[in-house]
Chain A
Amino acid sequence: MSVRNVIASHFVQVAQQQSKQLPPLADDLALLNSGLDSLCFAIIVARLEDELAIDPFAASEDSAFPVTFGEFVRLYENVAA
């Protein structure tokens, strides 16, 4: 499964578990409008670290938190590459 698909499936799973309404995951979806809160993102990032063995936030200290879903995916793709 591609990094993008792994990320998307965790977004969907966490939204479901946390009873959040998740809009379609388009690249330009602003994370602030995704219906997910910081706890949801903390969970997603932890699960992605477990599954992909990468933590892009720890990998580069100055990486700003991505604003859109597309940026979020690229952050992981860049580290995974």
Chain B
Amino acid sequence: MLPPDATALRGRLGTSGRRFLTDAALRISLGDLADATSLVAADGDGETCDELTGASVLVATSDQLATVLTLIELDGVASRLVLCPPDLAQAHLPFVIATAGIDAVVVDRAAPVRDALRGPRRLICDPAGLMPRLTPSGPGRTQAPTEWVLFTSGTTSRPKMVLHDFASLAAPISSATAIEQGAVWSTFYDIRRYGGLTILLRALLGGGSMVLSDAAEKVDDFFLRAARDGVTHISGTPSHWRRALMSEAARRFAPNYVRLSGEVADQPLLDRLQAVFRGANVAHAFASTEAGVAFSIADGMEGFPARLLDEPGPVELRVEDGSLRIRSRRAALRYLGDDAPRLAGDDGFVDTGDMVELRGDRYRFVGRREGIINIGGLKVHPEEVEAVINTHEGVRMSRVFGRKSPITGAIVVADVVAAAAEGDSLRSDILTLCRDRLARHKVPVAIRFVPSLDILPTGKLARRIA
């Protein structure tokens, strides 16, 4: 059942001329979108939006802004919106189209149409060609709730399609931070990922504006643009932020709110962000595509207070077999596909696969279950070693991984990006730090200095699984 106040996205934008949506090329007033369209049929002309009523639509534009306009236009109209991430391999498209029962695809004008997208009906979204709708859309009341489908981060294997509805996506947006009239939001995430989409929805549903980032844009250029557009609230993964801190322009940018999610936010990074963005509230959130946004921690400390497990509220947390489990209305409904695994257990809890450890009165994130390195039967989470390495002020970021060993199966090694000078003295400092703070099997056997570490399109550090 649809709640009585359910209103499609377009009906939540208001008519104010102050609120905007922008990327590096275009700036659109949100007030103009209530009765405008940017969708045209690829094989003709005329109004197309109403013809998509009840359709399952794959949004496969290369341009994020075009995706946002399509979402605004088709939420409450289409039965299903599938958000295709930019890095989705061509080979997976037929599977996606079949599994999601796609009737129509939306592409942009500039990019060539991929072969797999030539089957379904095709529409073009052209943000630069915004035009008045022939038939006014009314208040944007939903005909039926639209399903939103997102992809999980997996890059090599067949992607998992995660089914949300507007209610599960909008559920986290209730706190004071989320609804801040006049806030100008931005994120390093692509908005086709859960982490980015939640930020877009905060802007659209919370009375704010949205500045889209661009993976191809230099960090310096992005910060200059963010400062010019008056960004007040900004989010990204810890890997995004470690890279962003290398930018001089970051020092001339003064947001009110800096948010981290998607990876473990360690103490040195939180401290550095607070030092650079002095006036900002620095918060780290825990969220996953499947489990939704669980909580946000703004006390400046890594991990989360153990008492959160007992607190009543919209999100229930539990730790079982070392991993964090979450139950809430914010979780996705299910995975798409007949042979898809179950998303939650019988009791409705989603196992996040994120391992936590109780230290004192706080839980710390120690790493992903599948990332564990096995050293002759002893377990190491790469993240716990990285957290120690990253405490050294000469270190910008690090990646710890397992290297095959004929003796113990694996040994721990580390790639390190130095903040300034690298060399034997930094290497020996890092090793001393590790020996002081970690069990001996967790101390890296080799440290290699590298100029940079790859960040995946998901915003997460590219990890090698041994």
Beyond the given pairs A39-B408, A42-B411, A47-B446, 14 more chain A to chain B contacts, judged by CB atoms under 8 angstroms and listed by A's residue number, are A18-B440, A38-B408, A39-B375, A39-B441, A42-B405, A42-B407, A43-B445, A45-B405, A45-B407, A46-B405, A46-B445, A47-B445, A57-B407, A65-B407
Q: Label chain B's interface by main secondary structure.
A: mixed
A46 close to B375 (CB less than 8 A): no
A58 CB-CB contact with B under 8 Å = yes
Query: Which residues of chain A come closer than 8 Å to B101, judged between CB atoms?
Result: none
A58 close to B376 (CB less than 8 A): no
A41 close to B407 (CB less than 8 A): yes
Report the 8 A-B pairs with minimum CB-CB distance, sorted nearest first: A57-B406, A42-B407, A42-B408, A42-B405, A41-B407, A43-B445, A42-B411, A46-B445
**B412-438 residues at the A interface, CB under 8 angstroms:** 413, 435
B368 CB-CB contact with A under 8 Å = no
A62 CB-CB contact with B under 8 Å = no
B403 CB-CB contact with A under 8 Å = yes
In the bound assembly, the distance between CA atoms of A13 and B134 in angstroms comes to 79
Residue of A nearest to B408 (CB): A42
In the bound assembly, the distance between CA atoms of A58 and B404 in angstroms comes to 10
Q: Label chain A's interface by main secondary structure.
A: helix
A55 CB-CB contact with B under 8 Å = yes
In the bound assembly, the distance between CA atoms of A58 and B403 in angstroms comes to 13
B440 close to A39 (CB less than 8 A): yes
Of the candidates A17, A38, A47, A50, the one whose C-beta lies within 8 Å of that of B407 is A38
In the bound assembly, the distance between CA atoms of A41 and B409 in angstroms comes to 12
**A31-46 residues at the B interface, CB under 8 angstroms:** 38-39, 41-43, 45-46
A10 to chain B, nearest CB (A): 11
In the bound assembly, the distance between CA atoms of A58 and B441 in angstroms comes to 22
B411 close to A43 (CB less than 8 A): yes
Query: Which residues of chain B come closer than 8 Å to A46, judged between CB atoms?
Result: 403, 405, 411, 413, 445-446
Query: Which residues of chain A come closer than 8 Å to B435, judged between CB atoms?
Result: 17
In the bound assembly, the distance between CA atoms of A57 and B411 in angstroms comes to 15
Query: Which residues of chain B come closer than 8 Å to A41, judged between CB atoms?
Result: 407
